[in-house]
Chains A and B, each alone.
Chain A
């Protein structure tokens, strides 16, 4: 097997898996911090329980996000050593800053929050959860600025050093001021809030249907529905901004996510397109006129370039090669992400409206609400697959191809060992995590005040 394919497969596995847990960490931290602040202000015990209960779920999820994150920090060097040599001068800096500024903050203050209740003052305990949440979100900022460079390297941030055969940083502020990174950040942290809101909605609905802890769960439900709505709109605005920026910096990705072969002016948006078997030609489609022009430049008449023209341009610029991403992936992940995003906005709007109209305790639809949890997970994964696959064949857009970035000293056997190893370990972790999440979510807030939801712990090891 080819080491490029295996390395890509492993990167996809480890990164998609990592990303199943991170959005919840990013968003749920803010909720826990908010609940604890309300408790601090009002001394209302329900707020206290809310911080504890949602905090427990936060920690079960956090553990996996953090350990799979270590792999992320190492695998650029392990699997993509030529990439690391070529752009390390630029890409290494935000990664180092992420560890120094964000990871230390997140881990240290979370440690204080978990073990500090009753040992540190209430004020310090409250500050520690805010700082932990801030730390997580700052780490998102730095890694997204790093990823922003891979997607759309700002022209004034780097030069090519011919002697060393690598790119070098010449303007740090251009690197960290990269609009792509900041739009990503906006899109991502609002996505984190939506993810957390939908977890809270799903778990609360489960308990509301069973009429358990109604004050606790209705309060959680109404806060989450408002947060979900606001976050959903922010995600949409972030995505919309991203589309317009993409037209300037990654036109090929834009065309590929639309499966648009021919340049159009004004451009229509495809609701459903079927391509032929080669994937190079459109066979049939339903389209909304003008919509694509609106999505990518906020007016109804602009030109959006098609894949064929962009491919011809790329060949002229970079030499012969295939510069078109795998369109069946970009096209469908984009649609899944967008459709689920809109459904999430619609659902949260409905929940807010229903809540304002009257008591939701006996609502007939409530028993279906736990299923909404699947929406953010699929939307999140699709979004990242789209953004990374849409950049192909480039690892750094227009500067370095994926095939030239891999570690050349690795053998297929090395990669098979690690790929199988990660799959087995990650798979087992997922089983343990889902088991615990479910158990604690169902056990409810009173159990979260204790060590574990089970009866008194039995002895472990030899008895004496």
Chain B
């Protein structure tokens, strides 16, 4: 396999990991953010958590694998991005930490104040993580100051530009909608009715923000800097979101879920194709951008990693898919059937 083929292959594989992460943990984050608003009674909150209980940790490993794969395949990208986005990633980590622990700890004590605190930590952590990931990706699309030594020269405030913030908020809104659709599929009774009402409102907010982000991206010319024209993909992404609105209003949660999932996937495809072959665009001087060519590992490492991925990715996909199949039943907020 030629060196260039491997570099492109790993760019695509990392894109796939991010797409998988946004699709899967996207609804996790949404469910987490909705938790204190949607669940009024303790059993309801437990039912909401149980809808993602068996899968959220596995979903989060997609992020760890994306990080690990970036380190292995594009060490310069990993080094520049992770050190450059230092404080943003620190806050992301804090969000993930408080959220992850809270899932496990909230029911381990009956004190309502204890439970309420952990529920809000789940919501806050999920919100922080969604906001920061969205802002980070928007900044990757926009470009960040990078010098000739592949070093990020900005700070946290460089990332807090209008486009970055809009990207963050849009991600939060889309994940909220994604989470609401997922809950519509997993819950039943009163809770399901309530989440259907939520979904309608969330759809409006998400669609407005999403279209604003799309217009901003187009007007600012952010999508014509790579060598691939995303073409019809972003249009299809918008279409999927609009169609999702139709299903949300008809309470057809399955189709609504598929359409928003499609929107998330196509948005990520748009992002990665408008970036390619850059992985981090330098606003200081385009020649100093990190590309799949100057940021990648050696041909030998990429070959070894390809063989490992070829063996293990199908296995992982098989057992993760099987888990979703096994836990496909709806969850009722009935004390006698809930698992803690």
Contacts and interface: CB of A to CB of B under 8 A. Distances in A.
Interface of A: 59-60, 62-64, 66-68, 70-71, 73-74, 76-79, 81-82, 84-85, 88-93, 95-101, 103-105, 107-112, 114-117, 119-120, 161, 166, 168-170, 172, 407-411, 414, 417-418, 421, 425, 429, 432, 436, 439-440, 450-452, 454-462, 464
B140 interface: no
B305 interface: yes
Given A81-B82, A457-B42, A457-B115, A95 B97 contact: no
Contact of B110 (A93, A100, A425, A455): A455
A6 to B, nearest CB: 12
A107 B305 contact: no
A449 to B, nearest CB: 11
B334 to A, nearest CB: 13
Interface in B46-97: 50, 53-55, 57-58, 60-61, 63-65, 67-69, 71-73, 75-76, 78-84, 86-87, 89-90, 93-94, 96-97
B54 A111 contact: yes
B72 A119 contact: no
Query: A92, A98, A110, A161: which has the most chain B beta carbons within 10 Å?
Result: A92
A417 B69 CA distance: 28
Interface stretch (B180-188, B221-229, B278-286, B315-323): B315-323
B83 A81 contact: yes
Contact of B68 (A60, A68, A98): A98
A55 B80 CA distance: 41
B178 interface: no
Given A73-B68, A101-B312, A425 B94 contact: yes
Given A79-B83, A429-B97, A459-B41, A100 B54 contact: no
Contacts of B100: 63, 66-67, 70
Contacts of B320: 104, 108
A117 B39 CA distance: 25
Interface in B262-319: 297-298, 300-301, 304-305, 308-309, 312-313, 316, 319
A452 B340 contact: yes
Given A92-B75, A93-B305, A461 B58 contact: no
Contacts of B304: 93, 169, 172
B45 interface: yes
A101 B60 CA distance: 14
Contact of B327 (A93, A99, A119, A440): A119
Contacts of B73: 92, 96
The 10 tightest CB contacts between A and B, nearest first, are A88-B75, A77-B82, A92-B72, A454-B110, A92-B71, A96-B68, A81-B83, A63-B104, A407-B83, A451-B340
A168 B304 CA distance: 13
Given A64-B101, A455-B110, A460-B112, A96 B53 contact: no
A66 B110 contact: no
25 contacts: A74-B89, A74-B93, A77-B82, A78-B89, A88-B79, A92-B72, A93-B72, A96-B73, A96-B308, A97-B68, A97-B308, A99-B68, A100-B308, A101-B312, A107-B61, A111-B54, A112-B54, A172-B300, A410-B83, A439-B108, A451-B107, A451-B338, A451-B340, A452-B108, A464-B41
A108 B312 CA distance: 14
Contacts of B50: 115
A88 B110 contact: no
Interface in B99-115: 100-101, 103-105, 107-112, 115
Given A99-B65, A457-B107, 10 more contacts: A63-B100, A70-B96, A73-B64, A77-B71, A79-B83, A100-B309, A114-B54, A115-B53, A115-B339, A464-B41
Contacts of B54: 111-112, 114-116
B90 A66 contact: no
Contacts of A454: 109-111
B310 to A, nearest CB: 11
Contacts of A104: 58, 61, 65, 316, 319-320
B101 A67 contact: yes
B79 A84 contact: yes
B82 A103 contact: no
B232 interface: no
Contacts of A456: 110
Contact of A425 (B53, B63, B97, B340): B97
Interface in B242-266: none
Contacts of A464: 40-41
Contacts of A89: 75, 297-298, 301
A107 B78 contact: no
B326 interface: yes
Contacts of B308: 96-97, 100
A104 B55 CA distance: 11
A115 B61 contact: no
B53 A111 contact: yes
Nearest to B326: A120
B151 interface: yes
B160 to A, nearest CB: 15
B326 A457 contact: no
Nearest to B309: A100
Contacts of B40: 461-462, 464
**Max chain A C-beta neighbours (<10 A), residue from B72, B87, B112:** B72
Given A60-B104, A108-B320, A461-B45, A96 B69 contact: yes
Contacts of A120: 326
B115 A74 contact: no
B152 interface: yes
Contacts of A92: 68, 71-73, 75, 78, 297, 301
B116 interface: yes
**Residue with the highest number of chain B CB atoms closer than 10 Å, among A63, A71, A166:** A63
Contacts of A85: 75-76, 79, 150
A84 B298 CA distance: 14
Given A85-B76, A409-B152, A461 B53 contact: no
Contacts of A421: 90, 94
A79 B323 CA distance: 36
